[in-house]
Amino acid sequence: MHNTIVALSDSHAANLNKLPPGLLRALQDADLIVHAGDHTEMSLLQELRQTGKVIAVAGNMDSTAIKIELPHRQLFTFGGITVGATHGSGAPMGIATRVRQMFPEDPDLIIFGHSHVPFNKIVDETHMVNPGPASGSYAVITINDGIHARVVTV
């Protein structure tokens, strides 16, 4: 069985129809949707939740309603691995290192956003993925005999 996460971030949209069709198709097939912040509007989060199982964090550009409802950092288990999710902050340079330091629990995978720059690398023995801005890319992460992540450009 495949355990597939579709990760997106920085959607900056009020609803799903503002996102690329390829991303919308991928969301339909996901076992878990992870949104790494900057949904911007609660309506987008609600539509995501109607699409499938969602784990989400708040980002710096999110509405007050989202910042009240969602944490800035999540740690959870999926497909037998530990996953961290956060938005990130500060300048794009060095963001992966700063985000990695937010998770002293040493998760197997960290999903983050904020920089609008796709990232898919190992940092201090943790696989780290930034799907990039939802208008241009997203990540498909399969947990099956390890972590297999790819950033898909739309």
C-alpha distances out from residue 149 to 7, 42, 77, 152, Å: 10, 28, 17, 10
- The mean pLDDT values, 10 residues at a time, for the chain of 154 residues are 90 94 96 96 95 97 95 97 97 96 97 98 96 98 95 96
Domain that holds residue 89: 3-153
C-alpha distances out from residue 124 to 7, 29, 108, 141, Å: 21, 31, 10, 19
The pTM assigned to this predicted structure is 0.97
Tell me the CATH number at 92.
3.60.21.10
Are 48 and 56 in contact, with CB atoms under 8 Å apart?
yes
Considering its fold, how many domains does the chain have in total?
1
- For residue 1, the model assigns a pLDDT of 52
